[in-house]
Amino acid sequence: MSTEKNTNSGIVQYTTFYCDRSLLGLDISFVQEINRNLDLTRVPLGHPCVRGVMNLRGEVVTMLDLRTLMGLPKSPNTIRNRNLILKCEGETFGLWVDGVADILTIGSQDITPTPSNLSLVDSRLIRGVYQTENKLVMLVEPRELLAASLTGIRAAA
Residues that bind another protein (CB under 8 A): 39, 41-47, 49-50, 53-55, 58-62, 64, 91-93, 149-150, 153-154, 157
Specify the residue, 5 or 42, whose C-beta has the smaller distance to another protein: 42
Q: With beta carbons less than 8 A apart as the criterion, state whether 49 and 153 touch.
A: yes
- The kind and range of the H/E element at 92 are strand 91-97
CA separation for the pair 36, 150 (Å, rounded) = 24
CB atoms within 10 A of CB 29: 13
CA separation for the pair 74, 57 (Å, rounded) = 27
Q: How far is the CB of 77 from another protein (least distance, A)?
A: 17
Q: How far is the CB of 94 from another protein (least distance, A)?
A: 9
Specify the residue, 118 or 153, whose C-beta has the smaller distance to another protein: 153
Q: How far is the CB of 92 from another protein (least distance, A)?
A: 7
